[in-house]
């Protein structure tokens, strides 16, 4: 599917330039009046909704079908993922399924190893994997090919066509919360800034770190054909997504942090959804598969969380 130059420029402005400007504006704002407790709470709540929406909704449920869930939860997860402003779910899932199929080989939309292993080539590759691919990709993954299952779902189609409204909601929600909390227009503006602009800029760079950092640095305790890796600080910020190595072994597994000490709040939340009866049929890690794919030099897989 060809992408017109105008549209690619739009991606660049919305996805890269605006968030960086927001971050740059945040610095004097931080020194000028600082972020108050009200805006901090709103920004953190919006951050958690966005990241869980991407990790549990867009990624584990819609892209990899790691668990099934009831319709209200499915719609809520789709909306939460939409708050991250990373595009409609079909677009996201199509690119990501292609990433798994060709991971770190020709055809991968965002491999940091695209230009080679050398210092400068890797630096260029990391920039490409982090943000560059939004702009340089001359073709988007064809949705009819990669996500026919999602296109067949009327809820998903409705969400896709209502996506501009969802994007507006991502700013309207924090602004309204700030206005109602403070009962003032200042409350609206500062919450729009921190909970809207700054929050989405941070959410973007955090989620993109999985593509750039967690395919370059960190440990690889499992055998895979690609260079997916585990990076603790990325995992913390992404609520579990930075345990990327096992994820490439078994993409449909609901838990990414499968080794001892690998905190995976997204998996924990899916477990809670299961207990509440909202989610079912989750694929939890199989200890036999774990040890079979473990690199021989690595220590044992004891202490694996149950799910
Ligand atoms: Zn990956
Ligand atoms: Zn994945």
Helices 163-182 & 154-161 angle (0-180, nearest 10)? 70
- 269 Cα: distance to centroid of ligand 1 (angstroms): 22
- Segment 277-302 mean pLDDT: 82
Whole-angstrom distance, CA of residue 261 vs CA of residue 280: 25
Contact 107, 133 (CB under 8 A): no
pLDDT digits (tens, 9 = 90+) for 161-186: 999 999 999 999 999 999 999 999 99
Tokens matching residue 57: 């909704």
Q: Is residue 121 part of a domain?
A: yes
Helices 154-161 & 71-82 angle (0-180, nearest 10)? 20
Q: Is residue 13 part of a domain?
A: no
Whole-angstrom distance, CA of residue 166 vs CA of residue 156: 13
- 92 Cα: distance to centroid of ligand 1 (angstroms): 13
Give the pLDDT confidence score for residue 12 in this predicted structure. 63
Whole-angstrom distance, CA of residue 44 vs CA of residue 107: 36
Q: Is residue 302 part of a domain?
A: no
**Which ligand gives the minimal distance to the CA of 245?**
1
When the pLDDT of each residue in the chain is averaged and rounded to a whole number, the result is: 88
Tokens matching residue 201: 């800029």
Q: Which residues of 243-257 are buried (b: 16+ CB within 10 A; e: fewer)?
A: bbbbbbbbbebbbbb
Return the SS3 of 172: helix
Whole-angstrom distance, CA of residue 94 vs CA of residue 111: 16
Q: Is residue 7 part of a domain?
A: no
- 215 Cα: distance to centroid of ligand 1 (angstroms): 6
Q: Is residue 158 part of a domain?
A: yes
Tokens matching residue 141: 């993954």
Whole-angstrom distance, CA of residue 119 vs CA of residue 179: 49
Q: What is the pTM of this model?
A: 0.88
**Which ligand gives the minimal distance to the CA of 103?**
1
Domain interval for residue 241 = 23-293
pLDDT digits (tens, 9 = 90+) for 193-211: 999 999 998 999 999 999 9
CA–CA distances in Å: residue 257 to residues 37, 211, 269, 284 = 32, 17, 13, 11
pLDDT digits (tens, 9 = 90+) for 31-40: 666 678 999 9
pLDDT digits (tens, 9 = 90+) for 118-154: 778 888 888 888 877 877 766 778 898 999 999 999 9
Whole-angstrom distance, CA of residue 165 vs CA of residue 172: 10
pLDDT digits (tens, 9 = 90+) for 252-269: 999 999 999 999 999 999
Q: How many domains does the chain have?
A: 1
Q: Is residue 17 part of a domain?
A: no
Q: Is residue 8 part of a domain?
A: no
Instruction: Indicate the burial class of 8 (C-beta count within 10 angstroms; 0-12, 13-18, 19 or more).
Output: middle
Give the pLDDT confidence score for residue 131 in this predicted structure. 79
pLDDT digits (tens, 9 = 90+) for 65-114: 999 999 999 999 999 999 999 999 999 999 999 999 999 999 888 888 88
pLDDT at 299 over 70: no
Q: Is residue 131 part of a domain?
A: yes
């Amino acid at each position: 599917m060809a992408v017109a130059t105008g549209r690619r420029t739009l991606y660049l402005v919305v996805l890269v330039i605006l968030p960086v400007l927001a971050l740059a504006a945040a610095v004097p704002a931080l020194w000028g009046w600082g972020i108050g407790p009200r805006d901090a709470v709103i920004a953190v709540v919006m951050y958690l909704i966005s990241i869980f929406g991407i990790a549990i909704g867009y990624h584990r449920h819609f892209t990899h079908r790691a668990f099934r869930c009831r319709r209200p939860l499915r719609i809520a997860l789709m909306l939460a993922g939409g708050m991250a402003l990373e595009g409609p779910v079909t677009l996201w899932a199509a690119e990501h399924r292609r990433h798994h199929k060709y991971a770190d080989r020709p055809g991968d939309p965002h491999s940091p190893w695209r230009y080679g292993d050398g210092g400068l080539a890797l630096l260029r590759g990391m920039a490409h994997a982090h943000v560059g691919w939004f702009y340089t990709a001359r073709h988007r993954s064809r949705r009819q090919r990669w996500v026919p299952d999602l296109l067949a779902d009327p809820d998903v189609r409705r969400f896709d066509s209502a996506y501009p409204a969802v994007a507006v909601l991502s700013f309207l929600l924090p602004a309204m919360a700030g206005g109602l909390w403070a009962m003032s227009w200042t409350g609206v503006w500062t919450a729009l800034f921190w909970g809207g602009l700054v929050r989405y800029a941070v959410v973007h760079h955090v989620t993109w770190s999985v593509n750039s950092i967690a395919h370059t640095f960190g440990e690889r305790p499992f055998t895979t054909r690609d260079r997916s890796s585990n990076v603790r600080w990325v995992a913390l910020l992404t609520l579990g997504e930075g345990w990327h190595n096992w994820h490439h072994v078994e993409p449909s597994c609901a838990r990414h942090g499968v080794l001892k000490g690998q905190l995976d709040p997204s998996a924990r939340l899916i477990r809670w959804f299961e207990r509440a009866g909202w989610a079912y049929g989750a694929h939890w890690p199989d200890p036999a598969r774990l040890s079979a794919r473990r690199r021989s030099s690595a220590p044992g897989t004891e202490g694996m969380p149950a799910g």
